[in-house]
Structure 1
Amino acid sequence: MEVKVNELSEKQLDELIERIVISIRKDREEERKQFKKYAEHNTSLLLRYYHKLKGHTNSVKEQLEADQDTFWNHNWLDLSALMQNKAKTVKLMDHVDYALEVYEKVCKNSDSSEERRRYQIIMRKYINENRQSDQEIADYFDKDRTTINRNCKEAIKDLSVIIFGVDMLNYW
């Protein structure tokens, strides 16, 4: 049975519009939650693989220097897709390094000892050359491992905002 819009009363139309608006709002809220979840997951992956990605970016720079004026640099040999992927990695890692610098400043200027500790935890766990386990970090700060894990999760949330921007905020 097909109903035409002109057959609906004003009240029915208003109810229909309200249902549609509510449905759209629910969908948008779910999309925001999913984005936030994925962004935090991706931030965690960026940190976990930080050294491998940085190694990749270093190899790109070395490869570009080595390939200059060689067979691989000829116009008829198209490696653009590979180089685009490598260029994306370089840009992303530059952005991650910038985000870490911003986060360091934010944490160091904080009145909260917990927030100041968060940056150090991220550095010790993911970034420093001699990475430490959660237990080693907990021992260093004389805290329980669960406190270190909670601080690390909060730091990842904070970094996600810096890396992915305003879309990480749920209230807009």
Structure 2
Amino acid sequence: MSDNVEILIKKAAETAAKVALKTYEDKQRAEMKAINDRKLHNTKMLLNNYRLLSEHVDNATYKRDQIDTAEAINWINEMYDPNNKADAIVNSIKNSALKTKIMVAHINKMLKIYELYCHSENSPKMLRRYEVLEGRYIADARVRYEEIAEKWTVDVRTIQSDVKEAVKDFSQLLFGIDWLNSLQ
């Protein structure tokens, strides 16, 4: 083969490799963005439903420490009854109550960490972000944007922006190292 053909083949291969690598990296970025968007969506959903979930945990009929021996024996006997279909429903309810309790406990721990983090920054913006997160999603009664803006003497749009950033920060805590790895 002539030198020109070899050079042409080499350049074509390099170009093809660069295009393939760029395509692969773009696809990876898109997948990570979709995962991050899903985590952020889940964080918003959990925060929007925090009061309801917390209420569910506080009022769940089934709590592990409430089972007495007689009840446990009855459940065991029912499990061996081949005609018993209610057991699947009971197990589903128990599992739901337990999962909800674990999730609410995790949210509460991460809220404490976020509160400590915001206070350690010693920045009005970070203190405001914690207050916004707590007031909008955690407090017994939802605090309006206008009330927080008035207290901090800032525009309502600033408070709305603080909510967005606080939810992003909190999502990092909820999902831990997976979230941080995806940002790199």
Relative distance call for 1:149 and 1:22 in structure 2 (3 A) is: same
**Structure 1 stretch displaced more, 85-94 or 105-114:** 85-94
Which blocks of at least 5 consecutive residues in structure 2 are unaligned? 1-8, 80-86
1:88, CA displacement in angstroms?
A: 1.6
- Does the 8 Å CA contact 1:107/1:116 hold for their aligned counterparts? yes
Aligned residue in 1 for 2:75: 74
Is structure 2 residue 39 aligned with structure 1 residue 39? Answer: yes
Is structure 2 residue 62 aligned with structure 1 residue 63? Answer: yes
Alpha-carbon distance between aligned partners in 2 of 1:73 and 1:13, rounded to the nearest angstrom: 72
1:131, CA displacement in angstroms?
A: 2.2
**Structure 1 stretch displaced more, 80-89 or 100-109:** 80-89
Is structure 2 residue 118 aligned with structure 1 residue 107? Answer: yes
Alpha-carbon distance between aligned partners in 2 of 1:73 and 1:140, rounded to the nearest angstrom: 57
Alpha-carbon distance between aligned partners in 2 of 1:72 and 1:119, rounded to the nearest angstrom: 47
Structure 2 SS opposite 1:131:
coil
How many residue pairs get aligned? The number is 163
Question: Of residues 97, 100, 123 in structure 2, which corresponds to 1:89?
Answer: 100
Relative distance call for 1:24 and 1:82 in structure 2 (3 A) is: farther
Structure 1 SS opposite 2:62:
helix
- Percentage of pairs with the same residue: 26
Listed one character per residue, the Cα deviations across residues 95-118 of structure 1 (whole Å, up to 9, x for unaligned) are 111110100000011132101111
Is structure 2 residue 130 aligned with structure 1 residue 119? Answer: yes
Q: TM-score, normalised by structure 1?
A: 0.81
Structure 2 letter corresponding to 1:132: V
Alpha-carbon distance between aligned partners in 1 of 2:114 and 2:146, rounded to the nearest angstrom: 23
Is structure 2 residue 172 aligned with structure 1 residue 161? Answer: yes
Aligned residue in 2 for 1:3: none
Alpha-carbon distance between aligned partners in 2 of 1:147 and 1:111, rounded to the nearest angstrom: 18
Aligned residue in 2 for 1:29: 29
Aligned residue in 2 for 1:53: 53
Listed one character per residue, the Cα deviations across residues 115-160 of structure 1 (whole Å, up to 9, x for unaligned) are 1111011111111113211112212222211011011111001001
- Does the 8 Å CA contact 1:67/1:73 hold for their aligned counterparts? no
Q: TM-score, normalised by structure 2?
A: 0.77
Relative distance call for 1:126 and 1:145 in structure 2 (3 A) is: same
1:13, CA displacement in angstroms?
A: 5.1
- Does the 8 Å CA contact 2:62/2:97 hold for their aligned counterparts? no
- Does the 8 Å CA contact 1:36/1:167 hold for their aligned counterparts? no
How big is the alpha-carbon RMSD for the aligned residues of Structure 1 and Structure 2?
2.4
Aligned residue in 2 for 1:133: 144
Listed one character per residue, the Cα deviations across residues 75-109 of structure 1 (whole Å, up to 9, x for unaligned) are 21343233222222111111111110100000011
